[in-house]
Structure 1
Amino acid sequence: MDFEAIPGVGAKTADALTELDGSVDALETGDVATLARAPNISEGRAAAIARAAIRIRHDDPGGFLATDRARELYRDVLTLLQARAVTTYAEKRLKTLYPSATASRIEEVHEFTARAMKREPTAEIQDALAGVEPLSNPRDVTVRDRCLATTDAERYAEARKKIPELPVEVVEDARELAELARGYSTVVALDESFTGVTIEGDVRVEPDALETPAELVPERPLAFFAENRETLLAAVEVHQVAGMDAPLDIEELESALARVTTDGSVTGDDELARLTDAIADLDAGVSMAENVANDRLRDAIRERDVTIEGSDLLSLVEQGAGVDSLLSRELADEYDAAIEAAREHLIDTLSLDAGETEIARQAFPDEPSFPVEHDESVIARLREQLEAEKSRREERHKRDLAQTLADERESAEELVHAALELDVELAVSRFARDFDCVLPEFETGGNGFEIVGGRSPLLDVDFSAVEPVDYGVSGVALLSGVNSGGKTSTLDLVALIVILAQMGLPVPAESVRLGRFEELHYHGKTQGTLDAGAFESTLREFASLADGEAGRLVLVDELESITEPGASAKIIAGILEELGERDVTGVFVSHLADEIRDVADEDVAVDGIEAKGLVDGELVVERSPVKNHLARSTPELIVEKLADGGESGFYERLLEKFE
């Protein structure tokens, strides 16, 4: 794939995507998490790239949202959807959904939505999803307790490239190989010439070792599972509580993950735990053993009367003897017992085996001394043996576990991706359930829209209190009605439903039928009369609409506010006539519907949001527009109310002016 052909992708981003495994599939499916693993690509940037790639795949030119107000409503829709996601991945992934005029894209998301709406969001799934996040690339692994050895410079370069985690050494002969074995727990010789050579230590001759890196460095596959352990376990829980089929054996994965620590070490082996504890407790154990011996000797000396003849004392002094000689002569048995107690304490504390015990016993000298001190060289040798055995045993376990997990990485990635995608589906499902949504029905070759029981979730009231609206338009219509009667919110509802429908998503209504629009032009209410320059600019916008292609939806809120009412009526009438000739669907909200109809050369459809009357000073409104009906204004309703109770006839005569 030519990544630079994707809008917004430059050379650096294209190079980053080239380095990323699975980038093509990720672009095909809108997999934001995978794309975000590429260098210097954030999740937000990944969503934008995925959206652009989707447009290319569907030959979608974009530009459906043709005005600022239309784009603002799209952002509001997206916010509602994202608020129902649990994971940050789903929030970003939802940004790949956008309103399109391309039938294939709408149908693709429509099919996804149909599946999503069958999902039942539960608190258990939501709790499980809280622990799922996109997988992380493991940190670079460096292993220092084993090395590779070769006599060949080319093999050396190959080993450095294929196995960067391990030190690689060049040796000339078996003697140098033996020297390496004294410094590493394990040495892997890559040359067949070393076969049959006997060298002390863990030296393996494996000429084909570079072909199986996971066996040489089991830390490599384990690092991925260690880094993502908690996310994988959370994804397992998601599959279990949601009843989803997993791409691998969940029980086997859980068992393997239970043996991997967050730093990539292996647990679950008693002998390995014993060695680990022995190394950690060695210094403290030695110190305590010394204390045991010295405490026993002090007690023995306090409790014992030592008598030395003058000639014996003189002889000892002349021979330069000190307390050690006295101990040897007078407290030999007690000293032996103290040393034995120190040795047993060290052996028991560290739970040493037979071979380790043999070394540990040498840590305390047979020759009497006070205070008793250990032989550091012996302790160093014991530590070296413990660490070597621990490394060898841990490597064996890592190798066994790596063999279990190495082939499961792709399946593990699928496991997490499925959980994250479930969150995307559940966000759509929650949206549909929260706002009583249905899937809209597109009419092939149709024009206009028909909404039954539509309710906007964007109003500043609880959704359950929103009054449903029925409204449909084919062609161009004026929408009249009282102030605060709901004309603008009706336009918002129409725009909202069309945006959702052409995103392929469910719509908040009992039913919706519509044609597939090419563009949405929503011009919100202008604040105040425009100056000459702004007025000219606005006219140019509508001129481009009149000269454009068919199949657009145009929504305009009180265009008359741009200039004087008389001129506004004529301008709006002219625009409606032009749009009506071009198979455009349009709704123009206006208080000048009667005047516009009078100056128009063609019949103009006028619909009305009718007020039923005033109750305690508040309007009672029928929110669904009445077709082919000019709604009465608020002043007319007030005059009518006064006329009912008036006696002078003033209000009746004033009311006649509205007829």
Structure 2
Amino acid sequence: MELESVPGVGAKTAAALRELDDPEAALRDGDVASLARAPGISEGRAARIARGAIRAEHDDPGGFAATKRAREIHEDALALLTDRTVTDYAAKRLATIYPSGVRSRIEEVRAFAEAAMEREPDAAVLDALSAVEPLAEPGDVQVRDRCLATRDAERYADAQAAIPEVSVEVVDDARQLAELARSYSTVVALDEAFAGVDIEGDVRVEPDALEEPASVVPERVLTFFARNRDRIRAAAEVHRVADLDAPCDLDTLLSALDQLDEDGSVSGDEELDRLATAVDDLDAAVSTAESVANDHLREAIEEQDVTIEGTDLLSLVERGAGVDSLLQRELADEYAAAVEKARDHLVDALALRDMEATARRAFPDEPAYPVEHSEDVVARLREELTAARDQRATRRKRALADDLAEMREDAAALVDAALELDVELAIARFAADFDCTMPDLTESEGVAIEGGRSPLLDVPFDEVEPVDYAVEGVTVLSGVNSGGKTSTLDLVALVTTLAHMGLPVPAESARVGRVSELHYHAKTQGTLDAGAFEATLREFGGLVTDVSADRPVMVLVDELESITEPGAAATIIAGILESLSEREATAVFVSHLAEDIRDAAESDLAVDGIEAEGLVDGELRVNRSPVKGKLARSTPELIVEKLADDGDDDGFYGDLLSKFE
């Protein structure tokens, strides 16, 4: 699939999508999670791109919901599904499911929906899903303790592009490489020419480093897993609770994740922890070691009786000697013991091993009071500890990154599967909550619904009365006020829309003829002015002209007579219905002028009726299922009939009732 052939994908978006491993597969599968990993593409935009790709794949022109009310029905249907999602991803993913007149697309979704309906929504699974989110790509990884080095300007540019997380330096010779080694804990030379050069420090010659960036910057892998650690763990829990087949061994993956801190550093390495602690505690340990030595020496001096003969004192003064000479002469052993205590404390406090010799040189043998450390030696010790820590960390990072890198695709698949499960469970919950079944989708015209209940009504679903209704060709639907004519139209529209989305419908059974467009015109509030009236007629004129066997349509209209005077409205509606009938369209027009429309038509028009069973305690009792071929009586007629039956009007109500015949 050519990326820029997808509607809504320009050159910039195509370039972002090419950053993905397999953008064509993601587009073909409607994989919103994968598409959203492309730079600068949000989940919402990914869903729109996925819809465009799906339409292109199925050669789908779109436009099924051809009117505002038809689009509202689709939005309402989608809301019923998204209300049953746990993750934001699932809601975006469901937005890629749209009503279509293309059979291949419908069948594709039907297969997915039928499998989803086999799922058993479980509270534990839904709870586990609440912590799952699509994986995020960290874009802020920066590594300052190592660098790349090369003598080649072209390779320099390639290195900057391939591994932007580290500095890239141009060097001319081994001397400049050695200078870099003094500034960085690790230098990776990209040129084979540096192989065999003996340079102090951690200098590695890796000509293939650009092909394996993780070997140079393991932080790239580690930061990815650290940022997504909770999401991957949640996805693993979903797999366990839902008993899904995992793409990898979950214990191995979770064990590797346990070795990561939130910042992407490696945890659980005692040697690395020892070195890191030593670097952090060095200054405090040196200071405490000085105190240990001076406390010991002070106590020794306080307890020591020192006698200096006059000639000795004169000799010391003449030589300009001070307390150091006195210490060396009279307290040499005690000074040596104090220094040894300082050295022992420093080594023990920092838990030093290989660098013990350096640490012991931090306190010199020459007597002095107070005892002080050597700044040069401590600085050297700090460099050795820091280098050892960084090198150990890099080795551990590389080892862990190697392990995790092998599991990256599996981790992504793990999260994607959990997110897709949420999509499936939303469909399963929708089907269960509204007693849905998969409809039969046929190539013949019309719709037949048995036991249909609309979840769009503003009453609890279990209180909705079931409706049976079948339509073939064009029909006028009559009925009493508040009898359910509009809700019947909504049910027909909803069942038709869901069927063309490939989803189950809220009915005991349903048969839906395939249509390319659904035109649903809601009731107009008030009479239209001349311009609006003309525009409405033009709209119906264009609709009638475009209907054909290759482009079947369903037309649902609620009280079109409200657009103009009743007499003219009946004539206009009759003409529209006759034209639609000639073109074998499916249409239901709700109207209080059913009888007038039938009289105005030059051919027989089917009239169905939602019948009232009568008035009981002032309330209308209605059979909500339309009766085929029945012109329903109006509410005023029922009221007059009730009054006539009371028989206390001297015949007035009876005469009035006869006017309805």
TM-score between both structures, scaled by the size of structure 2? 0.92
1:589 aligns with 590
Shift in Å at residue 192 of structure 1?
4.5
Q: CA deviation at 1:62?
A: 1.0
Amino acid at match of 1:109: V
Amino acid at match of 1:440: P
Measured after TM superposition, the shift of residue 546 of structure 1 is 2.2
2:95 aligned counterpart, secondary structure = helix
Residues 322 and 34 of structure 1, relative CA distance in 2, 3 Å threshold: same
Deviation, structure 1 residue 351: 1.2
Task: Name the stretch that deviates more: 212-221 or 585-594.
Answer: 212-221
Going from structure 1 to structure 2, the CA distance change for 1:516 and 1:200 (only over 3 Å counts) comes to same
1:457 equivalent in structure 2: 455
Find the aligned partners of 1:142 and 1:200 in 2 and give their Cα distance: 25
The alpha-carbon distance between structure 1 residues 463 and 313, as it changes in their structure 2 partners (threshold 3 A), is: farther
Partner of 1:401: 400
- The worse-fitting range, judged by mean Cα deviation, of 34-43 and 494-503 is 34-43
Give 2:424's aligned residue: 425
- 2:46 corresponds to: 46
1:446-595 matches, cutoff 5 A: 446-550=444-548, 551-595=552-596
Instruction: Check whether the contact 1:17–1:23 (CA below 8 A) recurs between aligned residues.
Output: yes
Change over 3 Å in CA distance of 1:206–1:502 after alignment to 2: closer
Matches of 1:207 and 1:519, distance apart in 2: 61
Q: Deviations over 1:206-263 (max 9, x none)?
A: 4554544433333333333233222222222222222222222322222222223333
Q: Distance in 2 between matches of 1:615 and 1:603?
A: 35
Superposition deviation, residue 280 in structure 1 = 1.9
> Following TM superposition, by how much is the alpha carbon of 1:493 offset from its aligned partner in structure 2, in angstroms?
0.9
Residues 110-119 or 603-612, more deviating: 603-612
* Separation in 2, partners of 1:642, 1:304: 129
Distance change >3 Å, CA 124–CA 309, structure 1 → 2 = farther
| Aligned counterpart, 2:415 | 416
Asked whether the 8 Å contact 1:43–1:92 carries over to 2, the reply is yes
Matched, 1:116 2:116: yes
Alignment of 1:440 with 2:442, yes or no, is: no
Pair 1:182–1:538, CA change in 2 (3 A) = closer
Distance 2:110 2:160 in 1: 51
Equivalence for 2:260:
260
Q: Deviations over 1:344-383 (max 9, x none)?
A: 3222222111x22221222223334444433222222111
Tell me which moved more, 488-497 or 230-239.
Answer: 230-239
Decide which moves more: 423-432 or 194-203.
194-203
How far apart are the structure 2 equivalents of 1:38 and 1:420?
A: 18
The one-letter amino acid paired with 1:538 is T
CA distance in 2: counterparts of 1:299 and 1:261, whole angstroms: 47
Residue 456 of structure 1 deviates from its aligned partner by 1.1
Aligned to 1:291: 291
CA distance in 1, matches of 2:83, 2:564: 41
Pick closer, same or farther for the CA change 1:586–1:356 going to 2, 3 Å: same
Tell me the CA shift for residue 597 of structure 1: 1.8
1:203 aligns with 2:169: no
SS in 2 for 1:460: coil
Letter in 2 for 1:417: D
Q: For 1:12 and 1:152, how far apart are their aligned partners in 2?
A: 31
SS at match of 1:513: strand
Question: What is the deviation of 1:634?
Answer: 1.7
- Residue 273 of structure 1 aligns to a residue whose secondary structure is helix
Quote how far apart the aligned CAs of 1:140 are. 4.9
1:174 CA drift (Å): 4.3
Q: Distance in 1 between matches of 2:326 and 2:465?
A: 106
Cα distance between partner residues in 2 of 1:553 and 1:643: 42
Partner Cα distance (1:417, 1:523) in 2: 40
Contact 1:323-1:369 at 8 Å conserved across structures: yes
Query: Structure 2 CA distance, aligned partners of 1:10 and 1:155?
Result: 31
Matches within 5 A, 1:12-23: 12-23=12-23
- How far did residue 197 of structure 1 move? 4.4
Distance change (3 Å), C-alpha of 1:658 and 1:372: farther
CA distance, structure 2, for counterparts of residue 305 and residue 460 of structure 1: 103
Q: Tell me how far 1:411 sits from its aligned partner.
A: 2.7
Q: Which residue type is aligned with residue 28 of structure 2?
A: E
In the TM superposition, residue 500 of structure 1 has moved relative to its aligned partner by 0.6
Distance 1:464 1:336, change over 3 A: farther
- In 1, Cα distance between equivalents of 2:493 and 2:570: 24
Mapped partners of 2:533, 2:197: distance in 1: 95
Q: Distance in 2 between matches of 1:572 and 1:173?
A: 91
Q: Provide the residue aligned with 1:377 in structure 2.
A: 376
Question: Which residue of the partner structure matches residue 89 of structure 1?
Answer: 89
Give the aligned partner of residue 365 of structure 2.
Answer: 366
Tell me: CA distance 1:620–1:295, structure 2 relative to 1, closer, same or farther (3 Å).
farther
Change (3 A) 1:66 1:236: same
The Cα shift of 1:139 comes to 2.5
- CA–CA separation in structure 1 for the residues paired with 2:434 and 2:29: 27
Give the conservation status (yes or no) of the 8 Å contact 1:139–1:223.
no
Q: How does 1:241-320 map to 2 (within 5 A)?
A: 241-299=241-299, 316=316, 319-320=319-320
Alpha-carbon distance in structure 1 between the residues aligned to 2:563 and 2:206:
85
Question: Partner letter of residue 391 of structure 1?
Answer: D
Alignment of 1:187-202 (within 5 A): 187-202=187-202
Task: Give yes or no for the alignment of 1:27 onto 2:47.
Answer: no
Partner SS, residue 96 of structure 1: coil
Is there any run of 5+ residues in structure 2 with no aligned partner, and where? none
2:277 match: secondary structure = helix
1:327, distance to aligned residue in structure 2 (A): 4.9
Q: 2:571 is matched by which residue type in structure 1?
A: K
Deviating more after overlay: 250-259 vs 578-587 = 250-259
Q: Distance in 2 between matches of 1:192 and 1:606?
A: 89
In the TM superposition, residue 326 of structure 1 has moved relative to its aligned partner by 5.2
Q: 1:54 to 1:212 in 2, by over 3 A?
A: closer
Residue identity matched to 2:590: V
Paired position in structure 2 for 1:67: 67
Structure 2 match to 1:10: 10
- CA displacement at 1:110 relative to structure 2: 0.6
Counterpart mapping for 1:202-221 below 5 A: 202-221=202-221
Q: Which moved more, 1:185-194 or 1:449-458?
A: 185-194
CA distance in 2, matches of 1:320, 1:617: 125
Q: 2 CA distance for matches of 1:424 and 1:534?
A: 43
> Contact conserved, 1:437 with 1:506, CA < 8 A, in 2?
yes
> How many angstroms does 1:150 deviate by?
4.5
Structure 1: distance between partners of 2:152 and 2:537? 80
Confirm or deny that 1:642 pairs with 2:647: no
Unaligned runs of 5+ in 1: none
- Once the two structures are superposed, what CA deviation does each residue of 1:469-527 show, in whole Å capped at 9, x if it has no partner? 11111111111111111111111111011111100011111111111012111110110
Q: Is the alpha carbon distance of 1:557 and 1:171 closer, same or farther for their aligned partners in structure 2, counting shifts above 3 Å?
A: closer
Give the Å deviation of 1:83: 1.4
Shift of the 95–160 alpha-carbon distance from structure 1 to 2, 3 Å rule, reads closer
Matches within 5 A, 1:580-659: 580-648=581-649, 649-659=651-661
Task: State the 1:547 CA deviation.
Answer: 1.8
Q: How many residues align?
A: 657
Letter in 2 for 1:428: I
Question: Structure 1 residues 422, 330: CA separation in 2 closer, same or farther (over 3 Å shift)?
Answer: same
Judge which range, 641-650 or 474-483, deviates more: 641-650
Q: Given residue 520 of structure 2, which amino acid in structure 1 is its aligned partner?
A: Y
Give the aligned residue type for 1:634: T
Deviation at 1:151, TM superposition (A): 4.9
**Offset, 1:436:** 1.2
Alignment of 1:232-243 (within 5 A): 232-243=232-243
Cα RMSD after superposing both structures: 2.6
- Per the alignment, residue 350 of structure 1 pairs with 350
